[in-house]
């Protein structure tokens, strides 16, 4: 699904199948940057305790390799909310050089402008790319357990339909690498909270003796289906950020002291 690309020792993943609709969908790895342990090496998160100059060097190298104009990039603050925003020209460049300038208190960005690139940072949470293959509109959503519980995906899909006049049959949903349901152990209380919040099959819950595991990708798939997304229009990466230690950072595996990958979506 996501194809591995390498240039100047930097490795990133691209979902090339979506090029047929004019979309560029990218997810980075931890390989090919300048950061030192425990952020080695392509840490792209300015909100980590890594040296800012190293993160900016990593970003500069990545933007050059991806042929991104940083003035067209936009990042959300990512506060584990279900807040989304249709960005405009005034938002260009937000979060590129300083985390404090990111789009305030948002976890989902939506664009109707071909010249914008939406970006986000991840280290276990689910990156969700949403596209209207007919109209060309696109979105990037950051969905951890809090955003999933608050149904940020549902809110974004409904925004496409209600505010952008999208047809449900034209909406594509892609979930990138994230922690898998086999590795995301949570409390019994949290499992019960999800059960009470969703009227959905419990295929997103795994139980092993007295342990409980939450599959955020599976749950977001069920949410997409419940909102009318065609199953063939849902794509889910099987890559697990927790398992693939050489390839990805993992907030859970690395006990919070870790770097961040980046997700990007744009049109060309």
154: domain CATH number is: 3.60.140.10
Helix axes 152-163, 216-226, angle to 10 degrees: 30
Mean pLDDT (whole number) for 186-207: 97
Mean pLDDT (whole number) for 34-61: 98
Residue 228 lies in a domain: no
pLDDT value of position 209: 86
Residue 220 lies in a domain: no
pLDDT in tens, 158-195: 999 999 999 999 999 999 999 999 999 999 999 999 99
Examine residue 247 and say whether the peptide bond preceding it is cis (omega within 30 degrees of 0). Answer: no
C-beta of residue 268 within 8 angstroms of C-beta of residue 34: no
pLDDT value of position 74: 98
Residue 200 lies in a domain: no
pLDDT in tens, 79-99: 999 999 999 999 999 999 999
Evaluate if residue 78 carries a pLDDT over 90.
yes
For 249, the domain range is 3-178+238-267
Residue 78 lies in a domain: yes
Mean pLDDT (whole number) for 102-123: 97
Residue 215 lies in a domain: no
Q: What is the pTM of this model?
A: 0.98
Evaluate if residue 211 carries a pLDDT over 90.
yes
User: How many domains are contained in the chain?
Assistant: 1
């Amino acid at each position: 699904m996501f194809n591995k690309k390498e240039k100047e020792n930097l490795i990133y993943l691209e979902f090339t199948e979506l090029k047929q609709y004019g979309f560029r969908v990218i997810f980075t790895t931890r390989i090919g940057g300048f950061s030192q342990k425990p952020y080695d090496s392509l840490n792209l998160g300015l909100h980590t305790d890594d040296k800012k100059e190293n993160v900016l060097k990593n970003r500069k190298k990545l933007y050059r390799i991806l042929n991104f104009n940083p003035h067209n990039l936009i990042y959300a603050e990512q506060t584990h909310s279900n807040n989304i925003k249709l960005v405009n020209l005034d938002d260009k460049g937000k979060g590129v050089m300083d985390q404090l300038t990111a789009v305030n208190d948002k976890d989902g960005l939506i664009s109707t402008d071909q010249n914008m690139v939406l970006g986000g940072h991840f280290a276990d949470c689910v990156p969700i790319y949403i596209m209207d293959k007919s109209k060309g509109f696109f979105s990037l959503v950051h969905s951890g357990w809090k955003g999933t519980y608050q149904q940020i995906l549902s809110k974004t899909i409904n925004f496409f339909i209600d505010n952008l006049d999208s047809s449900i049959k034209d909406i594509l949903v892609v979930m990138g690498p994230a922690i898998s349901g086999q590795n995301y152990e949570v409390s019994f209380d949290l499992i019960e909270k999800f059960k009470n919040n969703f009227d959905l099959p419990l295929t997103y819950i795994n139980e092993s003796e007295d342990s409980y595991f939450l599959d955020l990708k599976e749950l977001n798939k069920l949410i997409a289906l419940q909102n009318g997304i065609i199953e063939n229009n849902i794509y889910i990466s099987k890559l697990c950020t927790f398992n693939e230690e050489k390839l990805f950072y993992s907030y859970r595996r690395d006990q919070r002291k870790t770097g961040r990958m980046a997700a990007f979506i744009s049109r060309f």
